[in-house]
Structure 1
Amino acid sequence: MALWNRLRESTKTMQAQLLAKKNELTSGAFRDASMAMCALVAAADGTVAPEERRRTASLITVNEVLQNFPAEDLRQRFETYLSRLTSDFAFGKVGVLQDIAKVGRKPAEARAVIQIGIIIGGADGDFDATEKAVVREACHAVGLDPAEFDL
């Protein structure tokens, strides 16, 4: 139970940090990288169960930072990334990580994308090893040290 409480507190802190920067997180690169990250975490184990797809899509629409963008646009981008990942995970992951890497030149956006990945991964109370692994890969893609996020 202590692990779950620590994860929940960590995601609350990250969400608060994201909200503080909400007005800075409006670029198309951030939007795309965020949706790529959400899809990558959802498909981390190579498959996406319908319930996982619905839960992630729901989290995207209620995230206050992502409300900078039209919900339908986010949904379409998320679904596009998921399609890439579910048709050929290894190849799709390369392209998804390239889109995530585009925010690497803007440290605030890069950190926000990683934080969104952690929030999505921990939303079900179990930020599992495969989810952590893809978020670590995303950290490397944007030039951030995974240790900064306890990964």
Structure 2
Amino acid sequence: MAIWNRLRESAKTMQAQLESRKNDLKSGAFRDASMAMCALVAAADGSVDPAERQRVASLITSNEVLRNFPADDLQRRFNDYVTKLTGDFALGKVSLLQEIGKVKSKPVEARAVIQIGIVIGSADGDFDQNEKAVVREACLAVDIPPSDFEL
């Protein structure tokens, strides 16, 4: 239970940090990188079942920071990215990591994308090894040491 409490507190802290930067997170590159991150986390095990897709979509629309963007636009982008991953996971992952890498030159956005991945991955109380692995890869795509996020 202590691990779950620590994970939940960490996710809450990251969400609060994201909300404090909400006004800095309005670019199209951030929007696209965030949706790519959400899709990567949702498909971290190589597939996305309908229930998981719905859960992540719900988290996206309820996330305060992502409310900077129209919900239907976010949903469409998320679904497009998931489709890339389910068509060919390895190729889709490379494409999505490239999308995430586009925020590398904007440290606030880059860190926020990683935090969104952790918040989404932690939402069900089990930030599993597959989810951690894709978030680590995303860290490398934006030149942030994974250890900055205890990954």
Task: Classify the TM-score, shorter chain.
Answer: over 0.9
2:72 corresponds to? 72
Matching residue of 2:142: 142
Task: Give the corresponding residue for 2:55.
Answer: 55
TM-score by length of 2: 1.00
The percent identity for this pair of structures is: 72
Gaps of 5+ in 2: none
Shift of 1:56: 0.0
Shift of 1:136: 0.1
Structure 1: gaps spanning 5 or more residues: none
**Distance across 1 between alignment mates of 2:96 and 2:108:** 19
Shift of 1:13: 0.2
Letter matched to residue 104 of structure 2:
G
Aligned-pair Cα RMSD in Å: 0.3
- Post-superposition offset of 1:131: 0.2
Q: Which runs of 4+ in 1 moved over 4 A?
A: none
> What aligned pairs does 1:1-150 form with structure 2 within 5 A after superposition?
1-150=1-150
Shift of 1:81: 0.2
Deviation at 1:138, TM superposition (A): 0.1
CA distance in 1, matches of 2:6, 2:150: 12
Query: For residues 5 and 17 of structure 1, what CA distance do their matches in structure 2 show?
Result: 18
Q: CA deviation at 1:9?
A: 0.2
Aligned-partner residue type, residue 33 of structure 1: A
Distance in 2 between residues matched to 1:49 and 1:94, nearest whole Å: 21
Aligned length: 151
